[in-house]
């Protein structure tokens, strides 16, 4: 046996040997993750904190801490947005870079759910430590995403506004389209009409369209001498009609609370503003939990066991039941069709469990995660059962794709896969996706990727999301190139081909990484192993804030 060869072990021995290695690996990865977050927490550093302090302002994260109930945790969404966005090979990437805004940790705003007087509210706060809180395309995407979650779960919305409005050099990606600036207001109006309250505390500039975030609120608050709202600021007024006026006299708190009536409450400081917000939200009706709650129980295994049992290599098989036992109350998992299809069925584990007393259905990739006909059929059946039982579903996605090849195609993998995709699409119960491994091809669809509107969509550091592996993509493009070169009667340059293969591999590896997919908000956040149970259970609790709707299944083939 040559030196570089793998040591020959039984699977049990391999696992025993690799457990501690896996643990160390994931501890290092999660440390990296926590460090990654720091940049968004401390954007601008001490300088920006001092700058705000001079204006009598605190950083938004401090405001949010004061707003939510003492001791409660802010359930942040989209923290990974905007990192190195100028480097992505996607619409707009270079535009950010050319405006020297290529790195926006946090994406220009803070969004997440917090408890205020015990009521879950969606909180939005402009990151006024970066580019004056202006909106970039990624900021808007983050804002829209949080509004969509609020609307779906009927959570009152609280906007802590301090924004220069659209970042002007990037207006093309911010102004006119669906999902751009106007959609913020459209969503506010529609949510308000649905009975989902919208509250705004203006703690800075709200210019032009930005002023509507004050006027459109169910109730709004402005801070004396700190908050301004006007359709056009003093310089534009000067140029348009020659009028000279101070910001305070044009659209200060007193103007809108005494004269225009555009705002409802005036306060003297940020602290007073936060107190007022809390007072207002105290009147909100208390929220129900639309499920039968069982007595919660801790799992028998902690998150470190989950780390040990998750192979360091994303492309090595995982036994997902080892993960489930670390997530489920009392480590109890009720499995559906555990013996069906033998090893062709076991690449998807289906079943249900309780998390902190709340029931949840589970569809989870296991082993090598490749979805065969039997696995797809089992998943479809189980989604239908969850839908019919009003049971939210969590997808633990670690599948590299549906099985390919003649025998599988003849057997109907396309048909059964499409049934799974259809069921996942129409499934009307709340869905949560947590990517824990390879996430490629149509498996991203059947396992409820972003396009299939999971209420929440997370990944851990093991997740890799791309259409296929870099290896395969390189192979396909290389084959096409080779054919073209040969057809033209030219010679293939093997050295260039090898370089090209490596480039594709590197590119796909980089593009599938959780930090990059998070920078573009393909998910709501990277969750550390140590946070997984708490954050998933919190997601589930939020999902149970609205009555579960029934599902119409559509034209299944079965």
Partner 1 sequence: MSVNVVAPMPGTITEILVQVGDQVKADEEMIILEAMKMENPICAPSGGKVAEIKVSEEQKVDTNQVLIVLE
CB 253 within 8 A of CB 223: yes
Among 315, 496, 498, 506, binds partner 1 (CB under 8 A): 315
Phi and psi at 102, nearest 5°, equal -80, -5
Report the alpha-carbon angle 230-232-237, nearest 5: 125
Specify the DSSP element, H or E, that contains 499. helix 494-511
- Which residue, 8 or 54, has its beta carbon nearer to partner 1? 8
d(CA 499, CA 474): 10
Among 98, 313, 388, 428, binds partner 1 (CB under 8 A): 313
Q: Counting contacts by CB under 8 A, is residue 368 touching partner 1?
A: yes
For partner 1, the binding residues in 335-354 under the rule CB under 8 A are 343
* Interface mask toward partner 1 for 429-448; x: CB under 8 A: ---------x-x--------
- Which residue, 91 or 410, has its beta carbon nearer to partner 1? 410
For partner 1, the binding residues in 62-81 under the rule CB under 8 A are none
Q: Counting contacts by CB under 8 A, is residue 370 touching partner 1?
A: yes
Phi and psi at 414, nearest 5°, equal -65, -45
Place of tokens 């025993």: 16
Closest approach of partner 1 to the CB of residue 460, in Å: 18
* Interface mask toward partner 1 for 448-487; x: CB under 8 A: --------------------xx-xx---------------
CB 227 within 8 A of CB 206: yes
d(CA 149, CA 94): 30
- Which residue, 72 or 343, has its beta carbon nearer to partner 1? 343
Place of tokens 């917000």: 277
Closest approach of partner 1 to the CB of residue 8, in Å: 4
Stretch that binds partner 1, among 101-109, 124-132, 185-193, 313-321 (CB under 8 A): 313-321
Q: Please provide the DSSP assignment of 249-305 as one string.
A: HHHBHHIIIIIS----EEESSHHHHHHHHHHHHHTSPPPP--SPPPPP---SS-HHH
Q: Counting contacts by CB under 8 A, is residue 316 touching partner 1?
A: yes
- Which residue, 199 or 372, has its beta carbon nearer to partner 1? 372
User: Residue 438, SS3?
Assistant: strand
d(CA 8, CA 6): 6
Stretch that binds partner 1, among 60-68, 308-316, 446-454, 499-507 (CB under 8 A): 308-316
Q: Counting contacts by CB under 8 A, is residue 10 touching partner 1?
A: yes
Stretch that binds partner 1, among 155-163, 362-370, 485-493, 512-520 (CB under 8 A): 362-370
Closest approach of partner 1 to the CB of residue 370, in Å: 5
For partner 1, the binding residues in 377-416 under the rule CB under 8 A are 400-401, 403-405, 407
CB 344 within 8 A of CB 374: yes
Closest approach of partner 1 to the CB of residue 432, in Å: 25
Among 148, 232, 317, 510, binds partner 1 (CB under 8 A): 317
Closest approach of partner 1 to the CB of residue 462, in Å: 14
Query: HEC states along 74-142?
Result: CEEECCCCCCCHHHCCCCCHHHHHHCCCCCCCCCCEEEEEEEECCEEEEEEEECCCCHHHCECHHHHHH
d(CA 181, CA 210): 9
- Which residue, 9 or 168, has its beta carbon nearer to partner 1? 9
Contacts of 271 (CB under 8 A, 6+ apart): 66
- Which residue, 219 or 322, has its beta carbon nearer to partner 1? 322
Closest approach of partner 1 to the CB of residue 316, in Å: 5
Closest approach of partner 1 to the CB of residue 179, in Å: 33
d(CA 310, CA 529): 10
Closest approach of partner 1 to the CB of residue 98, in Å: 36
Q: Are strands 119-126 and 358-365 parallel, antiparallel or unpaired?
A: unpaired
**Binding-site size, partner 1 (CB under 8 A):** 29
**Token code pair at residue 317:** 């098989």
Among 11, 54, 89, 488, binds partner 1 (CB under 8 A): 11
CB 355 within 8 A of CB 322: no
d(CA 508, CA 14): 28
Among 3, 12, 242, 339, binds partner 1 (CB under 8 A): 12
- Which residue, 185 or 475, has its beta carbon nearer to partner 1? 475
**Token code pair at residue 540:** 């589930």
Stretch that binds partner 1, among 6-14, 101-109, 125-133, 245-253 (CB under 8 A): 6-14
Closest approach of partner 1 to the CB of residue 461, in Å: 18
Stretch that binds partner 1, among 52-60, 89-97, 166-174, 310-318 (CB under 8 A): 310-318
CB 40 within 8 A of CB 79: yes
Specify the DSSP element, H or E, that contains 406. helix 406-411
Binding site for partner 1 (CB under 8 A): 1, 5-6, 8-12, 14, 313, 315-317, 343, 368-370, 400-401, 403-405, 407, 438, 440, 468-469, 471-472
């Amino acid at each position: 046996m040559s030196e570089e060869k793998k040591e020959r072990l039984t699977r049990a021995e391999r696992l025993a040997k690799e457990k501690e290695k896996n643990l160390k690996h994931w501890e290092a990865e999660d440390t990296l993750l926590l460090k990654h977050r720091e940049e968004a927490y401390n954007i601008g550093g001490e300088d920006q904190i001092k700058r705000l302090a001079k204006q009598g302002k605190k950083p938004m994260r401090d405001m949010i801490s004061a707003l939510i109930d003492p001791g409660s945790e802010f359930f942040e969404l989209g923290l990974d947005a905007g990192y190195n966005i100028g480097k992505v090979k996607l619409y707009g990437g270079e535009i950010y870079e050319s405006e020297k805004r290529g790195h926006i940790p946090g994406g220009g705003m803070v969004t997440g759910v917090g408890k205020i007087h015990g009521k879950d509210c969606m909180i939005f706060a402009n990151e006024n430590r970066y580019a004056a809180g202006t909106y970039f395309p990624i900021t808007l995407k983050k804002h829209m995403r949080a509004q969509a979650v609020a609307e779906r779960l009927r959570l009152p919305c609280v906007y802590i506004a301090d924004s220069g409005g659209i970042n002007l050099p990037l207006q093309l990606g911010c102004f006119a389209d669906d999902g751009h600036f106007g959609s913020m207001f459209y969503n506010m109006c529609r949510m308000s009409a649905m009975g989902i309250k919208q509250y705004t505390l203006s703690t800075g500039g709200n210019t032009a369209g930005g002023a509507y975030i004050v006027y459109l609120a169910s109730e709004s608050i402005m801070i004396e001498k700190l908050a301004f709202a006007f359709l056009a600021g003093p310089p534009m007024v000067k140029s348009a009609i020659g009028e000279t006026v101070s910001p305070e006299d044009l659209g200060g708190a007193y103007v809108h609370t005494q004269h225009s009536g555009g705002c409802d409450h005036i306060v003297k400081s940020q602290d007073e503003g936060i107190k007022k917000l809390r007072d207002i939200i105290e009147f909100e009706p208390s929220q129900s939990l639309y499920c039968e709650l069982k007595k919660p129980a801790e799992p028998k295994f902690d998150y470190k066991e989950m780390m040990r049992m998750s192979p360091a290599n994303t492309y090595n098989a995982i036994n997902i039941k080892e993960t489930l036992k670390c997530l489920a109350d009392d480590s109890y998992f009720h499995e559906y069709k555990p013996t069906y299809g033998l090893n062709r069925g076991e690449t998807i584990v289906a079943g249900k469990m309780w998390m902190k007393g709340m029931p949840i259905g589970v569809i989870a990739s296991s082993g090598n995660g490749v979805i065969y006909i039997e696995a797809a059929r089992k998943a479809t059946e189980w989604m239908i059962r969850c839908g019919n039982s009003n049971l939210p579903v969590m997808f633990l996605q670690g599948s590299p794709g549906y099985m390919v090849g003649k025998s599988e195609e003849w057997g109907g993998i396309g048909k059964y896969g499409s049934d799974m995709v259809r069921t996942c699409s129409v499934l009307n119960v709340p869905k949560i996706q947590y990517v824990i491994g390879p996430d490629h091809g149509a498996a991203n669809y059947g396992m409820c990727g972003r396009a299939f509107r999971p209420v929440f969509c997370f990944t851990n550091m093991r997740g890799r999301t791309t259409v296929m592996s870099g290896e395969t993509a390189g192979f396909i493009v290389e084959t096409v190139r080779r054919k073209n070169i040969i057809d033209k009667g030219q010679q293939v340059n093997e050295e260039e081909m090898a370089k090209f293969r490596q480039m594709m591999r590197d590119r796909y590896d980089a593009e599938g990484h959780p930090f990059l997919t998070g920078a573009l908000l393909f998910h709501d956040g990277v969750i550390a192993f140590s946070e997984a149970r708490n954050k998933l259970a919190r997601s589930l609790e939020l999902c149970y804030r609205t009555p579960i709707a029934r599902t119409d299944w559509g034209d299944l083939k079965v």
